[in-house]
Amino acid sequence: MNSTVKEILEWVYCIIIALILAMLFRYFIGTPTIVKMESMYPTLIQDERLWLNRWGRTTKTLPKRGEIITFEEPSKLEYSSSEIDESNPIAKYEKRTGIDWFVKEFLEIGKRSYIKRVIALPGDHVQIKDGKVYINEKELEEPYLQSGIVTDIIGTGFDDFVVPENSVFAMGDNRNHSTDCRAFGCIPLEKIESTVAIRIWPLNKWGKVE
């Protein structure tokens, strides 16, 4: 093997290793993202750049109430009245294995994710009534909402239930323009991808997102 070929192979090995390390960092540690929808307005605005913390997924740690998370879009987004089971309000997901898991879960090719705020945790009794949210019979204070925003159920969605173990109930701050857990149920821990760590763009808004 001449020196030129050897040098090319060394560069190829270095590039492959760098790509593998980058993918591992992205999946287990953190990654940047761009806000694409209006469901978290005014907290998050379209085209803002965020840094996502994925360490919670790695350590299988539930997020805290009030944190903003990203999670995989459920496979079923709407339910008829006969399909609603508030005794088991868990979002439905298709099970993936093998190459399908690697492409969709690890590489995130062809996967759609939502960004919402955690409202309730395991064991919390959630009620949505009179345009407000009640947690364990007490009205939830939500200073991040715009004045005049009301919270209603979506379609024939979930409005009176207890959050199951190892799952969270999350909604968008822009309640009238958010498809969220009110429609499809609580998000299981294994489908939570990350928490929003900081806003990195625009620079004049750089910092923690609350």
Which backbone phi and psi does 196 adopt, to 5 degrees?
A: -75, 120
Which backbone phi and psi does 57 adopt, to 5 degrees?
A: -65, -40
Say yes or no to pLDDT of 147 above 70.
yes
**Rounded average pLDDT over 76-104:** 89
Question: What helix, strand, coil percent values describe the chain, rounded to 5?
Answer: 25, 30, 45
Q: Are 138 and 132 in contact (CB under 8 A)?
A: no
pLDDT band at 1, cuts 50/70/90? Answer: low
**Position with higher pLDDT, 173 vs 210:** 173
Domain ranges of the chain: 32-208
**What CATH code would you report for 32-208?**
2.10.109.10
**Position with higher pLDDT, 102 vs 136:** 136
Alpha helices in 29-152 (DSSP H): 55-59, 98-101
State the distance between the two ends of the chain, measured CA to CA, in whole angstroms: 58
